[in-house]
Structure 1
């Protein structure tokens, strides 16, 4: 009987030790996920700040402040989510896994915005090269102006879609995901859970639902909307009156003027070609090495 009692006690001690190890491992996984999520949240916040600052972001802005930093961080979070399966309850893990996949898809919105912005810049550079011709082709000039505007407008809409996705879904989702994980971590170590943390954690389902149903309605005045995007609803509709059309065209002209400089950054061959044909002055070479804004 004594021997049997010793075996039972020994088994119970071993079980508690094993449970403690599992709990410690779970807490470590949860803490690492929170750290990775914090890093991703900072990267997205920096991107949002840049997009708020500029009515129209050029490709170097998007690369430096958005797609570059975010692509590194989002892969870390995706890997962390895979490890959380054993540390979270099934329902929480399922929602976090689903929204992390959505965020991975949303990160491609940044790549789309980058690609479309780059396409606009290509059109601008081509229009500058058209000016090298000794005989001006009016039809080509008109056609190029139209293609530049269409490319610029498409890029602006892509940037707006990316901005609203970050502001209204990605950042709130990251905050709620962290809360879910922190609730679990506190439960593992039997710590009290603040009400505001529980409230944030419970928002995840609604964010997931709203994100799945979000599709940006193409704005009629995207450049005008971009100026006020930081204080506007993603569903805002701007009146298409005559006055607004004038403002929209003025905003577009502002982007177009800036694009003739910003589109040339880092394009050494294009700059040399435009200098040699007389479209650009020698001073334009500073754009080859000038730090981006």
Structure 2
């Protein structure tokens, strides 16, 4: 009996058979029912097959090609045109596969992979390209597909056929031995690649564990404070998050070209999402630094010595307060993004990677994993539409943010004395934070009588001590 792993699997003779074969392969590979999209003569939006996985992901497939295009190589222009056509489909699609009976060169595969990453970043469906070699690999792993479409490999050979096989084996025994060695090598390489994908996914999940811990530490450090200054944000948030985030980027680069395409796309999605969230955290740090610099300048208006005192108008005082409220609003929004979206999203990303890893091992996903994975689109949508509205008495309210919701809208008096006091303390501390390592301004404020000589400790960028 001839083994399907030892011979080349014949390509379909026409596009109808190719479409039926593709539908069967995708149903087996993804463990879901894929159906023909529309019927001949109907407008199909460039989609031949469509299926919905158990956890909600929708996968669409275009079988290249119809009539005389079966087996012909694809070009970039054809890939682009196929994607544009698929985008006219009014329903939701998460992944779009283009499958062809032709061989696909490395250059075209790299083009599709780069294009898919760019689309993912833009919030559009991902794209994958399977040539005949990829389909062969999947068919060999699908016994039911083999039996249904290539049943001759399971039939009992006739006596004449057996004698021919024996004779052929005797004549070309050496060649057969070499061929079997190559087949064995192919299986070994396939298993190695599968193992690398699983190992890579496990490393990424481990890195996400570190990121989850860093985010939790950041969120916890912001609790109970009316305002978190740049040094505290840097020490408790950006530095701890930056280390595993950089490691995640390294994992992504190391796995490119080695990891399974679908699994790699999940890694790319996690990396892109977390980098964007980190960028917003850096903006919060920058706005805190801006407030601290403003506070130093505004502190000069409180100099006891008129010779040094800088006059500030009421309009400038209001502008300074507005700068503080803007920084607080962005900081509060980022706090809620991390607490209510980023931390749950990391759990969902880990679940998606765990599912990808189990699929590589031929295992099914648990209900718990599926539930967590399915929560990601909702979380991302909620985060995209989230806007933070600064409540009345913003600085007083910010001290209890850990026990409030992101939609908390407390109202307060226009001149709430508690809020004014908290703002005064915030502005005063912001001045000391802005003086760290700033020799010139420290000496100026000592000379003007606002600070005592002991404040020179700030010149060494040490923890500030309030002046008496």
User: What band does the TM-score fall into relative to the shorter chain?
Assistant: 0.7 to 0.9
Q: Structure 2: where are the runs of 5+ without partners?
A: 1-165
Counterpart among 338, 349, 355 of residue 183 in structure 1? 355
1:158 corresponds to: 330
Report whether the alignment pairs 1:124 with 2:295.
yes
After TM superposition, give the deviation of residue 80 of structure 1 in Å.
3.2
Deviations 1:210-246 (A, max 9, x none): 22222223434332331222122212211x2439934
Residues 125 and 45 of structure 1: CA distance in aligned 2, closer, same or farther (over 3 Å): same
> What is the DSSP-based 3-state SS (H/G/I as helix, E as strand, rest coil) of the residue aligned with 2:440?
helix
Give TM-score scaled by structure 2 length.
0.55
Structure 1 regions of 5+ residues with no counterpart? Answer: none
> How many residues were matched structurally?
291
- Are residues 1:80 and 2:80 paired? no
Matches of 2:429 and 2:413, distance apart in 1 = 25
What residue is the counterpart of 1:195 in the other structure? 367
CA-to-aligned-CA distance 1:245-283 (integer Å, 9 cap, x gap): 344323323323433433323323221221123221011
Further displaced range: 220-229 or 58-67: 220-229
**Residue aligning to 2:399:** 227
Identify which of structures 1 and 2 has the higher relative contact order when contacts are C-alpha pairs closer than 8 Å and 6+ apart. 1
TM normalised by structure 1 equals: 0.84
Q: Which residue of 2 aligns with 1:63?
A: 234
1:87-102 alignment runs, 5 A limit = 87=259, 90=262, 94=265, 97-98=268-269, 100-102=271-273
Query: How far has the Cα of 1:76 moved from its partner?
Result: 3.0
| Contact 2:287/2:327, CA 8 A, preserved across alignment | yes
Does the Cα contact within 8 Å between 1:95 and 1:204 map onto a contact in 2?
A: no
Of the candidates 408, 414, 422, which is equivalent to residue 236 of structure 1? 408
More strand by share: 2
Which structure shows the higher helix fraction? 1
**Is the Cα–Cα contact under 8 Å of residues 392 and 413 in structure 2 kept in the other structure?**
no
Aligned alpha-carbon RMSD (Å)? 3.0
Contact 2:288–2:327 (CA under 8 A) maintained in structure 1: yes
The answer (yes or no) to whether the contact 2:438–2:459 under 8 Å persists in 1 is yes
Does residue 140 in structure 1 map to residue 312 in structure 2? Answer: yes
Which protein shows a greater Rg? 2
SS across alignment from 1:41: helix
Provide, for residues 12-64 of structure 1, a one-character-per-residue CA deviation record: whole Å limited to 9, x for no partner: 53333122111111112112211222222222222111111422111111111
Q: 1:95 to 1:232 in 2, by over 3 A?
A: farther
